[in-house]
Amino acid sequence: MSGFTVRPVPVEVPGLTHLHTGKVRDLYATASGDLVMVASDRVSAYDWVLPTEIPDKGRLLTALSLWWFDRLADIAPAHVLSDTPPPGAPEDWRGRTLVCRRLDMVPVECVARGYLAGSGLAEYQADGTVCGVALPDGLQDGSRLEEPIFTPATKAEVGEHDENVSFERVAAVHGAALAEELRTATLALYRRGRELAEERGILLADTKFEFGRDADGTLVLADEVFTPDSSRFWPADGWEPGRPQPSFDKQVLRDWLTSPASGWDRASEEPPPPLPQDVVDRTRDRYLEVYERLTGSPAPVG
Ligand code: ATP
Ligand code: MG
């Protein structure tokens, strides 16, 4: 079992139509057909959206996405129109709302990997490839890949795992031209992000992009970008291939959830328990630190 421990209730805002409640974001449509994405403070671990929120997380990730969109615009235009919440929105939406062009989304999770971890590691250990890309022998948990690789996945519902697929599969379903376009954009964006993050002592092990088409057919970068929710961030000074790397943002809560203190059995069907205040505080500090290290600016939170 997995999914939401507490089902989020959409907010009623005059003029907005609720479209979707994701693990983290709530989506609405404006009367003119634009998309309103509101990043909540929800946090997930082990396929569960936890019952406790991390205050300001949605604001930090929204600000971080905006910072990155600016630095990637020459590679792919972003879907953002404005960061001003629509009239009548709750005060709490300020800083966590992006009004975006509503795109025809490409139903492929465009993953780039520069290090071996997660499902990439599992596939490599099983047969030496990731999404059909053959890798050299002898790589370990956390190894850096000589060249970043494009490892697409199909999108799953809340609580389900995305499924890794080969480039050929994407080409067969969506056409070779689009598959090429996705791979080229994904790898170019990832290279830019990895380089920038590395200068700031953060390894961007892997990341996921989502793209959509606008009315003219242009491929546009959608969703969020290079946030800890869409990426694996590792502190560079703690990197040591051959064991799982500590994660910048979620290590504190993962460690607590799997410790005897939580009383939770990950293998059980039971939802995880609420987080204690010190775990919340320390997790929030990690999100603040990621933001401040990457951008070099104080986090935009009260
Ligand atoms: P998760 O990302 O945690 O797997 P999720 O994708 O279901 O969960 P969120 O990330 O919380 O949920 O919600 C964002 C949703 O908005 C995604 O379904 C994404 O594909 C969609 N989306 C993002 N940008 C656009 C856009 N410009 N036009 C249309 N849909 C978009
Ligand atoms: Mg998402």
ipTM of the complex: 0.94
Q: pLDDT above 70 covers what percent of the chain?
A: 98
Reply yes or no on whether the pLDDT at 12 is more than 80: yes
pLDDT the model gives residue 158: 61
Q: Which numbered ligand comes closest to the C-alpha of 27? A: 1
| Ligand 1 and 101: CB distance under 6 A | yes
Mean pLDDT of 163-169: 95
Tokens encoding 10: 């959409």
Domain for residue 289, yes or no? no
Ligand 1 atom having least distance to the Cα of 102: 28
With a cut of 70, say whether residue 2 has pLDDT above it.
no
Residue 156: its pLDDT value, please?
Answer: 72
CA–centroid distance, 134 to ligand 1, in Å, is 30
Is ligand 1 within 6 A of the CB of residue 213?
A: no
Asked whether residue 34 carries a pLDDT value surpassing 80, the answer given is yes
Q: What is the pLDDT averaged over residues 7-24?
A: 94
Closest residue CA from atom 7 of ligand 1: 22
pTM equals: 0.95
- Cβ–ligand 1 distance for 249 under 6 Å, the answer no
Residues across the chain: 302
- pLDDT of 171 reads 97
Same-domain status, 111 and 233:
yes
Is 226 strand, coil or helix? coil
The answer, yes or no, to whether any atom of ligand 1 lies below 6 A from the CB of 99, is no
Question: Could you give the 3-state DSSP secondary structure of residue 148?
Answer: strand
Centroid of ligand 1 to alpha carbon of 21 (angstroms): 9
Q: What average pLDDT does the structure give for the chain? A: 95
* Residues 97 and 108 grouped into a single domain: no
* Contact 187 CB / ligand 1 (< 6 Å): no
Using the 8-state DSSP alphabet, how is residue 244 labeled? Answer: P
CA–CA gap between residue 39 and residue 99 (Å, rounded): 11
CA-closest candidate to residue 113, choices 231, 235, 234, 247: 231
Tell me: do 162 and 225 sit in the same domain: yes
The finding on whether 98 has its CB within 6 A of some atom of ligand 1 is no
Alpha-carbon distance 83 to 92, whole Å? Answer: 13
Q: DSSP letter for 129, please.
A: E
Radius of gyration of the chain measured on its C-alpha atoms: 19
Quick one: which atom of ligand 1 is closest to the CA of 25? 11
Residue whose pair of structure tokens reads 């376009």 in the numeric block: 181
Among protein residues, the one whose CA lies closest to atom 24 of ligand 1? 223
Average pLDDT over residues 264-273: 93
> What is the Cβ-side half-sphere exposure of residue 143, based on CA atoms within 13 angstroms?
16
Q: What is the pLDDT of residues 55-88, one digit of tens each?
A: 999 999 999 999 999 999 999 999 999 999 999 9
- Same domain? For 87 and 113 the reply is no
Angstrom distance (rounded) from CA 63 to CA 291: 8
Q: Which residue type occupies 16?
A: L
Number of domains observed in the structure of the chain = 2
Of 64, 79, 102, which residue is a domain's last?
Answer: 102
Cα separation of 201 and 110, whole Å? Answer: 25
Residue 219 — very low, low, confident or very high, per pLDDT cuts 50/70/90?
A: very high
Does residue 245 lie in a domain region? Answer: no
How many angstroms separate the alpha carbon of residue 297 from the centre of ligand 1?
Answer: 27
183-to-72, 75, 187, 298 alpha-carbon distances in Å: 16, 13, 6, 34
Ligand 1 atom nearest residue 162's Cα: 4
How far does the centroid of ligand 2 lie from the alpha carbon of residue 260, in Å?
A: 31
| Within-domain flag for 301 | no
- Does the Cβ of 286 fall within 6 Å of ligand 1? no
248 part of a folded domain: no
CATH of the domain at 30: 3.30.200.20
In this prediction, residue 76 carries a pLDDT of 98
113 and 216 share one domain: yes
109 and 231, same domain (yes or no): yes
- The tokens describing 22, both together, are 């994701």
Our mutation pick for probing the ligand 1 site, out of 66, 69, 223, counting the most ligand atoms within 8 A of Cβ, is 223
Q: Is the CB of 42 under 6 A from ligand 1?
A: no
| Predicted confidence (pLDDT) per residue in 174-186, tens digit | 999 999 999 999 9
180: domain CATH number?
3.30.470.20
Whether residues 97 and 113 share a domain: the answer is: no
User: What is the extent of the structural domain holding 41?
Assistant: 1-102
Please check whether residue 140 lies inside any domain of the structure.
yes
Mean pLDDT (whole number) for 209-214: 97
Is residue 47 very low, low, confident or very high in pLDDT (cuts 50, 70, 90)? Answer: confident
| Whether residue 166 is found in the same domain as residue 202 | yes
Phi, then psi, of 145 in degrees rounded to 5: -85, 140
User: Of ligand 1's atoms, which has the minimum distance to the CA of residue 39?
Assistant: 11
Please indicate whether residue 35, judged by its CB atom, sits closer than 6 Å to ligand 1. Answer: yes
Of the residues 30, 100, 210, which should be mutated to test ligand 1's pocket, given the most ligand atoms within 8 Å of the CB?
A: 210
